[in-house]
């Protein structure tokens, strides 16, 4: 296939996970590289001079010394919390009651949902994020709004109606039957339509009765190619609450497993305070956990041990967890993940951080065939990073003696100013 566009710059790709092999063996760096794009997909990746010869009629977009990567993939977020990001002084349960539930009630208004979905996705694009897995609210219109806004931008978004039938305000509670039926209707309308993918979405065990979890487990069994997203062991108080609600359960994870909500495609946000049994079962079942470092520090949840999870065979994605997370930026999220890794005794390599923010998150979402890599056939979703976007970053990068030394300052200090362009399905969004 002949490419329509050649995107030039430094190109970084991963042949393997840098958690499985040394980073320099996992990564390939073309100093003068190119990504050939056609019909919204990647046609080829390699040295620019070779691809210019192979695709002589292609339009050329030259990003100079900027670094071209797969677009960032945010594996756990709450787009309805966009307006309440950076709200002060609460832990998880108080956060929900004080900020989240009142804001989510506003999504009963479809016009408000549409406006927030538009704002949220534009913020993601500005920060180089091209795909996200997001919780919506109990209102089907909140799901419709996000999928419609994503389709207008060509984005590959995974999302679902958040289900709650207890321990939530009356306007945000449903029933087991309503959760099943309204989710099923949304699956029928959106799952697999264009780039939209549906995620069955119980908020977490404290807000779903066993009957609701059972209904959603049955729905997932009927639609196994959907994702399933929820929360697990975010804070110690939450774990104790689940134990009081479910004395029959072996542990928190068991409340999901008992109702068919554990398996490949299951994404458990946070997963900080796990038992040994839970770690073993997550790995055995092929489920993934999603590391949300800025959220874990901002609302005081704890320190997630990423290296231990990966070593134990658990799939790990990376996420902002907007708006408990304090940034829309996956660069800021990578910086926080590095800091958390230092606290847990295992500093993450820059290659590992980038892999988590791209292919690792895509694998957690079971979408790595389409997003999170620069493999031919994948969607042409790219982020282009200016590695000297601010004076502070530029002066540090100027001293770099290796590729990773040149990239690391941007991972630690970068923000939306570092995003020179974001490409989604071959369409460029830039400053």
pLDDT tens track for 327-351: 999 999 999 999 999 999 999 999 9
Q: Are residues 63 and 77 in the same domain?
A: no
**Shared-domain flag, residues 199 and 224:** yes
* Domain final residue, candidates 364, 382, 401: 364
Residues 159-168 pLDDT 10s:
999 999 999 9
Q: What is the domain extent for residue 279?
A: 72-364
Find out whether 429 and 349 touch, Cβ atoms under 8 Å.
no
Q: What pLDDT, on a 0 to 100 scale, did the predictor assign at position 231? A: 98
Same domain, 377 and 358: no
Does 294 share its domain with 330?
Answer: yes
- Domain count along the chain: 2
Q: How far apart are CA 382 and CA 429, in angstroms?
A: 10
pLDDT band at residue 176, thresholds of 50, 70 and 90?
Answer: very high
Instruction: List helix spans (H) across 110-209.
Output: 110-126, 140-153, 176-190
User: Do 141 and 169 belong together in one domain?
Assistant: yes
- My answer on whether 143 and 277 are in the same domain is yes
Q: Are residues 359 and 379 in the same domain?
A: no
List the helix and strand counts (H, then E) for the chain: 18, 16
Pairing of the two strands 162-163 and 197-202: parallel
Residue-wise pLDDT for 99-126, tens only, equals 999 999 999 999 999 999 999 999 999 9
Torsion of CA 152, 155, 156, 162, to 10 degrees: -70
What pTM value is reported for the model?
0.98
Within 10 A of 172 (CB to CB), how many other CB atoms are there? 21
pLDDT at 90 over 80: no
Whether residue 330 is found in the same domain as residue 196:
yes
Are 360 and 384 within one domain? Answer: no
d(CA 350, CA 412): 10
> Is the backbone of residue 154 left (phi > 0), alpha (psi -120 to 50) or beta?
left
How many Å is the maximal CA-CA distance in the chain? 67
Q: Give the Cα separation of 194 and 153 in Å (integer).
A: 12
The answer to whether residues 139 and 258 belong to one domain is yes
* Residue 259 and residue 210 share a domain: yes
CATH code, 219: 3.20.20.140
Final residue before a domain boundary, out of 364, 387, 411: 364
Check whether 431 has a pLDDT greater than 70: no
- Among residues of the chain, what percentage have pLDDT more than 70? 100
CATH of the domain at 34: 2.30.40.10
| Among candidate residues 317, 332, 364, the one where a domain is terminated | 364
Q: Is 283 exposed, middle or buried (0-12, 13-18, 19+ CB in 10 A)?
A: middle
Region 223-241: what's the mean pLDDT? 97
Question: Within 10 A of 370 (CB to CB), how many other CB atoms are there?
Answer: 19
Residues 383 and 283 in one domain: no
């Amino acid at each position: 296939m002949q490419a329509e566009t050649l995107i030039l710059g430094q190109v970084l790709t991963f042949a393997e996970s840098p958690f499985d092999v040394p980073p320099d063996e996992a990564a390939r760096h073309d100093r003068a590289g190119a990504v050939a794009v056609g019909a919204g997909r990647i046609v080829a990746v390699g040295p620019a001079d070779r691809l210019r010869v192979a695709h002589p009629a292609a339009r050329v977009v030259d990003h100079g010394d900027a670094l071209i990567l797969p677009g960032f993939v945010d594996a756990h977020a709450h787009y309805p919390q966009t307006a309440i990001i950076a709200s002060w002084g609460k832990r998880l349960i108080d956060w929900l009651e004080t900020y989240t539930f009142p804001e989510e009630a506003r999504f009963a208004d479809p016009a408000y949902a549409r406006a927030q979905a538009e704002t949220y996705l534009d913020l993601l694009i500005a920060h180089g994020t091209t795909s996200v897995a997001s919780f919506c609210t109990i209102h089907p219109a909140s799901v419709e709004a996000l999928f419609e806004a994503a389709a207008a931008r060509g984005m590959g978004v995974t999302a679902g109606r958040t289900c709650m039938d207890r321990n939530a305000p009356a306007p945000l509670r449903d029933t087991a039957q309503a959760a099943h039926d309204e989710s099923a209707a949304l699956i029928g309308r959106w799952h697999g339509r264009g780039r939209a993918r549906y995620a069955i979405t119980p908020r977490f065990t404290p807000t779903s009765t066993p009957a609701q979890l059972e209904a959603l487990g049955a729905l997932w069994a009927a639609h196994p190619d959907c994702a399933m997203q929820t929360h697990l062991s975010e804070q110690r108080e939450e774990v104790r609450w689940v134990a009081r609600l479910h004395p029959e359960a072996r542990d928190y994870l068991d409340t999901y497993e008992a109702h068919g909500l554990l398996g490949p495609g299951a994404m458990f946000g946070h997963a900080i305070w796990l038992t040994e049994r839970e770690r073993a079962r997550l790995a055995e079942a092929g489920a993934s956990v999603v590391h949300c470092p800025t959220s874990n520090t901002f609302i005081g949840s704890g320190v997630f041990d990423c290296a231990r999870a990966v070593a134990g065979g658990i799939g790990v994605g990376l996420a902002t967890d907007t708006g408990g997370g304090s940034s829309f930026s996956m660069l800021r999220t990578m910086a926080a993940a590095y800091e958390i890794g230092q606290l847990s005794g295992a500093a993450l390599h820059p290659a590992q951080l980038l892999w988590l923010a791209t292919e690792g998150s895509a694998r957690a979402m079971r979408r790595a065939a389409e997003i999170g890599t620069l493999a031919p056939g994948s969607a042409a979703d790219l982020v282009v990073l200016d590695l000297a976007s601010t004076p502070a970053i530029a002066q540090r990068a100027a001293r770099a003696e290796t590729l990773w030394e040149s990239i690391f300052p941007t991972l630690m200090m970068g923000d939306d100013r570092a995003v020179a362009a974001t490409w989604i399905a071959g369409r460029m969004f830039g400053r």
